[in-house]
Structure 1
Amino acid sequence: MNPLGVHALVWAGDLSPESTRHVISQTKRAGYDLIELSLHGPQLMDLALTRDLLQEHGLRVGCSRGLTFEADVSSEDPAVVARGVAMLEEGIAITQAIGGNYFGGILYGAMAKYHQPCTAAGRRNAVNAVKRVADFAGARGITLGLEVVNRYESNLLNTANQALQLLSEVDKPNVKVHLDTYHMNIEEVDFVQPVLLCGDQLGYVHIGESHRGYLGSGTIDFGQFFKALAQIDYQGVVTFESFSSAVVNEQLSNALAIWRNLWSDGMDLALHAHAFMAGGLAAARQGVAHR
C-alpha cells in the first residue's frame, strides 16, 4: 500500500512547539504514515523538538512551500531570483534537519495570480534556479517535487505535460512531478492521462476535493485517478490536503483564497479521508491486478 500522509493545516494553523505536538500526535492517532509541514510564513519551528516528536511517533515527514513575488525564481531580476533560491535552500535545510527526504510545492515561481505569461528569460531563470536547488537537495538526500497547480497560482506549470517539459530541461534525477487532484480538476482533461504520462516521473501526490472539503463530496472522479495510479504501479506517498477557515494560517489561507469554513472537526475529516484513500487505492490495485 502507498504510505498515506496528511497536511498539517488539517490540525493547526502554525508550527509553534505546542501546535507541532498537536499536529504530530493527531496525525499518528488518525493512522497516517506521514505528516506534511508547510513552511509558509514566519518560522516558529523548534527543529530538534519536531525531529524528536516524529521519531517518537514513528512518522515520516515531508515539507512544502511556495514563493512570493519578492522571491520569485521566474523573475527577470537577479536579486529577486537569488532571494527565491535562498528561501528554497532554507526549506531544504529545514527538511533535512527534521529527518525528511521530500521537499515540494511551487518551487519554480511565485504562488500567486500573475497578470501576464512567464517570459522566456523568466523561464530560463526558473530552470536554472531549480537546477541549482536540485544539486543542493541531492547532496542532502532530498527529492524535489514540482507541484502542478492551477492558473490562479502559477503561470508556468498548470499541467502534467508542462511539468514534464520543465523536468527534461532541469535534467536532475532527484526532481519529480507532484500532481494534485484539486488542481487537475481545473486544468487537465481527465484524471487518467496525466498520471499515465508522468509514469515513473511521478514523485508525490496530493488528494484534494474540488472544493477542498470532505473527499467524495465534490466533483472529482477519484476512482479513475486511483486506477491510473495503480496502472503505473505508483508506490509513493499519497497525502490528503484540505483547508478551512476553521484552521487559519493567514498567509497561506489568503494565498489559497480560503474564505469559508469547509469543516471544523479535523479528526473527523482526517479519519474519513484516511478510510477513503486507503479503500480507493486498495480497490484500484485489486481491479488492475485482476485484469
Structure 2
Amino acid sequence: MKHGIYYAYWEEEWAADYRRYVEKVARLGFDVLEIGSAPLPEYSRQEIQELKKCADDNGIMLTAGYGPTYNHNVGSSDSKIREEAQDWYKRLFEVLAELDIHLIGGALYSYWPVDFADADKPEDWKRSVEGIRRLAASAKQYDINLGMEVLNRFESHILNTAEEGVQFVEEVGMDNVKVMLDTFHMNIEEVSMGAAIRRAGKLLGHFHTGECNRMVPGKGRIPWREIGDALRDIEYDGTVVMEPFVRMGGQVGADIKVWRDISRGADEARLDEDARRAVEFQRYMLEWK
C-alpha cells in the first residue's frame, strides 16, 4: 500500500501551492500527496515542470481529486454542459499525464455539491454511465484510472453505497474505471464496513480514510481493524489517502460544512504532528503484507 493525505487538511481555501505540501508530507512519512484538479488545466508549462520536479525530488507520488463544478457534470441533462465537461477533462488529462498522475477520484460522474431539487436518479445514472464511458476512453490514452467515489446521501444521490458503486462501474464496463470508497461516507451509509470493502473487491481502485468526525485516522470511532481485515481479504495493495478536515473558515470550511474548530486551536505544527502520528497508525492498522 501507499499512504497519502489530501493537501486541503492544512488549507482554508482550495487554491494552494502544492509544492509546499509535497515537501511537507515527505517529511511527515507519507508516500502520496493528493492534490486538487481544478486549477491544473490552467497551469503554465513552468508550473507543471516545477511541481513534477518537486514530487520526483521528494519521492512523492501524486494523485488527484476533484469535486466537479456544475459545468463539469458529464451526466448533466444539458448536452452543452456534457460536452463542456468532456472537453475540460481532456485538457486536465493532458496535465495529469505530464505530472505522472495516473489516478483521479471524486464524484466524477456528476457534480458536487448536488442541488437535489433537480435530482432524477434513474435518468442521472443513465447519463452518468454514458458520460464516464466516454471520459474513460479519453483517460485511457494517458493510462489514467478514474475513481468513482461513493458519497453519502447528503452530498450525492447517485452512488451512496459500495453496492451501487460496483453496479455503476460494471455498467460502464471500462477497465480504467474503479470503485472508490471513503470511510467517512461509509460510516453513514454502510451496514458493514468490511462487507462493503469485500463487495468492491478487485474493483476497488482508491481508498479514502478519515474518522466519522472528519479528524485524522485514530481520533474517532471508525472500526480500523475490521477495515484492515477486509482490505487484506481482497488483497488490496493500492493507494490509501486520508482526507481529514478540521479547520473552520474559508471556502474549504464552508464547502465541507466545518462549523466548529475540530482542531481545537491547533497550529500548523500540531496539525503536522497529528498527521505524522495518523499515517503511522494507518500503516499499522491497514497494512497486510
Counting matched residue pairs gives: 279
Whether 2:32 is the aligned partner of 1:34: answer yes
| 1:159 to partner: Cα distance | 0.5
Structure 1 counterpart of 2:69: 68
Query: 2:153 is matched with which residue?
Result: 151
Q: CA separation in 1, counterparts of 2:82 and 2:34? A: 26
2:137 maps to a residue whose letter is D
Post-superposition offset of 1:91? 3.1
Q: 1:214 to 1:20 in 2, by over 3 A?
A: closer
Aligned counterparts, 1:1-291, within 5 A: 2-12=1-11, 13-16=13-16, 19-40=17-38, 45=43, 46-113=47-114, 114-115=116-117, 117-245=119-247, 250=251, 252-263=252-263, 264=266, 265-282=270-287, 285=288
Gaps of 5+ in 1: 287-291
- Pair 66,235 (structure 1): closer, same or farther in 2 beyond 3 Å: same
Which whole-Å CA distance do the structure 2 matches of 1:83 and 1:136 have between them? Answer: 14
Question: Is contact 2:40–2:95 with CA below 8 Å preserved after alignment?
Answer: no
Q: Is the 8 A contact 1:73 1:129 kept in 2?
A: yes
Q: Aligned partners of 1:194, 1:151: CA distance in 2, in Å?
A: 16
Q: Is the 8 A contact 2:73 2:85 kept in 1?
A: yes
Percent pairwise identity? 27
Q: With structure 1 as the length reference, what TM-score do the two structures score?
A: 0.89
Deviation at 1:43, TM superposition (A): 6.9
Alignment partners' CA distance in 1, 2:258 and 2:7: 15
8 Å Cα contact 2:217-2:242 kept in structure 1: no
> In 2, Cα distance between the equivalents of 1:253 and 1:93?
30
Q: Alignment partner of 1:10: what SS?
A: helix
SS in 2 for 1:131: helix
The question of whether the paired residues in 1 share the 8 Å contact of 2:224 and 2:286 is answered with no
Mapped to 2, the partners of 1:152 and 1:43 lie a distance apart of 29
Partner AA of 1:68 in structure 2: T
SS at match of 1:152: coil
Q: CA deviation at 1:95?
A: 1.7
Describe the SS at the equivalent of 1:107.
coil
- Of 104-113 and 84-93, deviating more is 84-93
Q: For 1:29-76, what per-residue CA distance to the aligned partner results, in whole angstroms no more than 9, with x for missing partners?
A: 011111100124687752221111001111111001011233322221
Q: CA RMSD of the aligned region, Å?
A: 2.0
Q: Which runs of 4+ in 1 moved over 3 A?
A: 11-16, 40-45
From the superposition, tell whether residues 42 and 94 of structure 1 become closer, same or farther in structure 2 (CA, over 3 Å).
closer
Shift of 1:10: 2.4
